[in-house]
Each structure stands twice: as structure tokens, then as C-alpha cells.
Amino acid sequence: MELPKVSKATTMAMAAERGAALRKLMVQGVFLSTGVLSTCVAQFVFYQGAGDQKAMLLPLCNYLGMMLVGLLPAVGAATAAQKMAEKKHQQQEKPPSPRMRQTQVSRSPEDDVEQPELTTTQTDALTPTKRRIVDSEAVDMELTRRAAVTEDDNQKEEQQQQQQQQDEDVDDSSDDEKKPALGFRVTPSSVSFSLSTLQLCIVVSVVLDFAGCIFSNVGLSMAGSGLYQVVYSSVICWSALMSRFILKKVVSKEEWFGIALVTFGLAFSALGESGGGRDNSVVLMGCFNTLVGAAFYGGNYVTGEYTLKLAEQPHPKELCLKIGAACVAIIAVYQSIFVLPQWDALVTKPIAEANGNTTHIVSALVVYTLSQLAHGLTYFVMLGSSGAVTTGIMQSLRAVCVFVISSVLYCSQQESQCFDTKRGVATLIVVSGVMFYSWAKSQQGKASVLAPPSSLRRPKKDPKSKMVAGKNYVV
């Protein structure tokens, strides 16, 4: 009995699918591992005494990694643009096709010579067949003449409108000076600063991301990396709430249940502290700062989603580069003015008090920067290929992994890092809430795809029950 033969094309297609699935799995693994590594390495820097918020060493490395995420793909984009330009230039230099040459050759010079009009006597002398040909030619000439007249009238109207627009521009420029590219508006009486919608969104993103970074680092130093990562999982709920009230997105009952489950788990996690350890109020304040930082990050995600929907259609990597470069510039100016003059008090002395190792700290900061870079790159690779459920699973696995690893590495240094039953239950509740919310989000996306087009739906009589189409985005 002979086995059915598999064609070479089918074998290659199966191999390509396996390779794509393997690459996707590797990207997800790198995304998860770098997220866990970043949190644990940042915690190590705090324990080494180099995590003072006034020095802002960790935020600087964080935004350096973000800036590199946007900078590295820019080189590839420039290469792609250069290739497109070369291809276009080659197409322009191509010789005309044989069909075009045949068309040009078959057209004789006699076709361009205007034929004289026939008189009535000459027309009557023609045979019926020739008369029909002449009549059809006359009709065609009349239609062509009318079309030409109409086109001339349209061109005249367009020229008049352009002239009126130029006159209005001249009048406006005589009153006010033209606005430069940077957004400065100079008038005879005052000087003001104006921003476009895209620039304003970038400024808001910088403020929100910077505030989220500061509050999150404070929460990490006070609560510990284990509780920090569990509380930080609430960012998906913050982004959902802000999308509901700012972007007017519809949140289903299942999604509300997932948000409520995460909220209950976060509240229950505060019961995990045991007595006799570090001051519980410090841990609670750390959880609160982490919650505020997650709220700022959630607002930043909503702002980024709104920015990507603008008419300019900026690329996510372009936003990443601009936000990272702006934050690096702000931190560099701050460190030059306030940190460098007090370097011993802000950096050297805390490291000595914590018995830290300078070599280990520098190595940890380099690893943290590269980890943020790899985490950002894999995020953009996953963008569009992974759904809401995959994102929720990654977030949940990151919380569990960070909690377990932090308990093994740092339990002896900070009591809140130790794993106990109550914290384990709280982590399980939060993880379940995040995964349930992600599942509900994916179901809502499938329902919107399977729903019939708006043109085929019957309009409802109640105007209050109108739904806005195209507002189902994945957080």
C-alpha cells in the first residue's frame, strides 16, 4: 500500500507555518522573560542603594531603552524608503512596452489634420451609409465640443476659487505673521505658542508616562517587587475604565466582572502582611503608589490609542522614539543641575550605607536598559499578531513569575517579598480577573466582527440606544 505523496509546495508551506509558530512562541517567551527580568533587576538596584528617586538612575535607563526601541527600527525604515525610491526610479527609466509602441506607430499624422466641414449639397450627394457615418461623426464632434466647453468652465471656476483663496491668505498674512514649523505664532501685539493635536497628544503622553514611571518606582521600592507586580496588573483595568469614559468605548458585563475581580484581589493582597516585619504602612503606601502609577500608565495607553487614530496616523515606533527622547532630555537636564552637584549625597553615600557594589550596580543598569529595549522590540513584533487573551496571559504569568522569583531571592531582605497563603490567594484572584477580562475582551471583538453591517441593520426607534460603529478597540 503506497502512502499518498505530499507535494513540495505543501511541505514548504507546512515548514513555513511551523517556523512562524516557533518564532511567535520565542517572541512571546522573550517578552515575558524580559518583563520579569526588568522588575527583578530594578529591585536589585534598590537593595544595592542606587535606587534613590532623586538620582533618577532607573528612569533614565528605562527611557534610554524606550528611545532605542524607536531609534533602531528607524534605520530599517530609512533603508526601506531608499529601496522604494530606487524601485520607483527604475520603473520611470523602463522603456515603453511593445503595445505602447504599436499604438504610437499605428497613429498616422493624418489623424491630427482637421478635416473640412461638408456643405448641405455635399451631404445630400452622399450615399445612405456614408451619410450615417458623417452624421455620427458630427454628433461625436458636438459632444466633444460640449465636453471641452464644460471642462473649460470648470477650470475657470477652479482658477477663480484659487485666486480668492490666495487673496484671503494674503489678507491673513498682512494681519498676522505666518506661523513657523515649531508652532510659534508671532503677532505685532503678542507672542503665543500653539500646538497641533498630534504635538499636544505627545506632550500629554510624556507627562503621563513620566508620572507613571516615578510613582511605579516609588511603589517598587516600598512594597517590593512581588506585591508591586501584582498591583501593577491593574493597569489593564485602568485603561479599560478610562477608555470607557474618555473614548466612549462599550464595556460589557463580563469585562466589568473581570475589573471587579481584579479590584477585590488587590484589596485582598493588603491582608497578606504578617506582623513583626517591615512597617505595614510603608508596604501599603507602596501599593498605593503602584496603583497610582498604573493609573497614569493606563491613561498613557488611552492617549496613545487616541493618537494613533489621528489623521496624521503616526507610527507607534515614532511615538516611542519621541516620548523616550523627550523624557531622556528632561532627566538629563535635571541630573546636570541637581544630581551631579550632590552626587556623593544622592548616590555614593546610599550605596556605601547599603554595602552595595558599584560594578554590580553598573552591570545591573546596563542589563535593565537592554531588557527594556528587548521588551519593547518584542512588544512591537507582537503588536497585531497576538490578541487580548494572549496579552492577559502574559501579564498574569509575569505577575506570578515575579512574585515567585522575588520570594526566592529577596525574602531575607524584605518581609513583604515573602510568599504566604494570603498573598498567594490574592495573586490567584488578580490573575483570574486579568485573564477573565482578557477573555471577555476577545469575545466582544469576535461579536463585533460577526455582527452584520450597519447598513443591513434596522434602525431603532429609541435615539438613546444608538451605538457608535467602529469603537471596539483592543486594550
Q: Decide: 47 and 222 in contact? Cβ < 8 Å.
A: no
Q: Decide: 437 and 392 in contact? Cβ < 8 Å.
A: yes
Query: Residue 82: CA atoms inside 13 Å, Cβ hemisphere, count?
Result: 6
Which grid cell is 200?
499636544
> In terms of residues, how long is the chain?
475
- Please list the alpha-helical segments (H only) found in 176-272: 197-223, 225-232, 235-245, 253-269
CA distances 145 to 5, 138, 140, 151, 437, Å, are 67, 10, 9, 10, 67
Residue 191: φ, ψ to 5°: -125, 120
Q: Decide: 57 and 45 in contact? Cβ < 8 Å.
A: yes
Spatial CB neighbours of 32, under 8 Å, sequence gap ≥ 6: 394, 397, 398, 401
How many Cβ atoms sit within 10 Å of the Cβ of residue 37?
20
Report strand pairing: 191-193 vs 184-186: antiparallel
Q: pTM for the full model?
A: 0.67
Residue 192: φ, ψ to 5°: -125, 165
CA distances 101 to 97, 111, 204, Å, are 6, 17, 58
pLDDT (tens digit, 0 to 9) for every residue of the chain, 475 residues total? 455 555 777 888 888 888 888 888 888 889 899 999 999 999 999 999 998 889 999 999 999 999 998 887 544 444 445 545 555 556 565 555 555 555 444 444 444 444 444 454 444 444 444 445 445 555 455 545 555 545 555 566 666 666 666 555 444 444 444 444 444 444 444 434 467 888 899 999 999 999 999 999 999 999 888 889 889 988 888 888 888 888 888 888 888 898 888 888 887 776 555 554 556 788 889 999 999 999 999 899 889 888 888 888 788 888 888 999 999 999 999 999 999 999 999 999 999 999 999 999 999 999 999 999 998 888 877 765 665 566 667 877 888 889 889 989 998 888 888 888 888 888 888 888 888 888 888 887 666 655 555 444 554 544 444 433 333 333 3
Query: First CA to last CA across the chain, in angstroms?
Result: 54
pLDDT recorded at residue 142: 52
Residue 253: φ, ψ to 5°: -65, -35
Nearest to 326 by CA among 207, 213, 444: 207
